[in-house]
Chains A and B, each alone.
Chain A
Amino acid sequence: MKCRRLERKILMYIEGNLNVKEKEEIKKHLDECVSCNSLYNDFLLILENSKKIKIPQLNENLLNALKVTIEKNKISTFSLKPVYIAISIFVLVFSTIFFARIYLPDSKKVLPVSTGPVKIEILNHELPFSEDVIIKYANYMEEEEVEKVLDFIFAGL
């Protein structure tokens, strides 16, 4: 049915995410179709009223309490510069490739997609790559990969 296809567009219409032509199409359909018109009005009603749900204010004292907690627990910032993150990914990816070359039979010499767990310890080891090479590689890195490493770091804390 035509309406099924248009339902999603009704939401986009409410959000103002349609081009002029689509907007006209929906507008016209809403005038003609009781069922879609009802969906449109109900969505509007739900969205407008959801926004009336109140929540408490964040207490301004939280920042001070955080500072106290940081002092009391002697928490320090963990110095892991982005360049080291890049290095760690670099090492991991290359060691995986290396591993794959040595241990996998020829037919399975496909690079694994996942970066997998990253060991932070490798940061303290001397690396057999020059900084130039690393930075060059890091520039090709997807942001997703950097995020994976950040998530790993967070999980470990």
Chain B
Amino acid sequence: MKDKKIFEEYYITHANKIYSVVYRMVNNHQDAIDIVQEVFLRAYKNMDSFKGLSKFSTYLYRIALNLTYDFLRKKKKGRKIENLDHEDFSFYSFNTNFEKNLYDDQIVEDIKKEIENLTDKQKTIFILKTYEELTYEEIARILRKRVGTIKATYFQSLQKIRENLKKKGVIKNEM
């Protein structure tokens, strides 16, 4: 079917990006997979509304982040996310060592911890800017915030990470 073909193209173009953002937010492969599935199911249902819209990725990021915030909120309350009758992936081989220390450099591990200590909003902006390398304008569109707010928040996140690394003695205080 034509729709399925277009859907596949959308998926191939965007799935990895969406997954990496969601994974960095939730820090768990299976949870990230569940959310990515939900994002694309919603995208599939609404494909006709998307056709011809220039910035499809903006909408995908936005749905993904909303689902992610939702998930994180529920997780904080100790509930599990509800899903459709999704296929189970856990039987596919997957290296779960990502939760363990696997960096030669201790500093990478320390920075990873500090990123996790950011607020959800700070983390989102940090991820979209640092890893997805989106422009401030693109991030502002996705999050519906002013560009100035995004810039300020990104700067604050870096400051926060820096201050905490200083407190822990990971990086030195200037003389």
Contact = CB atoms under 8 A, between A and B. Distances in A.
A65 B62 CA distance: 23
Interface residues of A, number: 49
B90 to A, nearest CB: 10
A46 B161 contact: yes
Interface in A1-23: 7-8, 11
B162 A43 contact: yes
Interface string A77-111: 11111100100000000000000000000000000
Interface residues of B, number: 60
A70 B94 contact: no
A133 interface: no
A15 to B, nearest CB: 9
B108 to A, nearest CB: 5
B48 A73 contact: no
B115 A50 contact: yes
A80 B51 CA distance: 10
Contact of B165 (A46, A68, A69, A73): A46
B47 A77 contact: yes
Nearest to B114: A46
A70 B59 CA distance: 20
Given A46-B158, A63-B15, A154-B46, A54 B102 contact: yes
Contacts of A28: none
Interface of A: 7-8, 11, 34-35, 37-39, 42-43, 45-47, 49-56, 58-59, 61-63, 65-70, 72-73, 75-82, 85, 147, 150-151, 153-154, 157
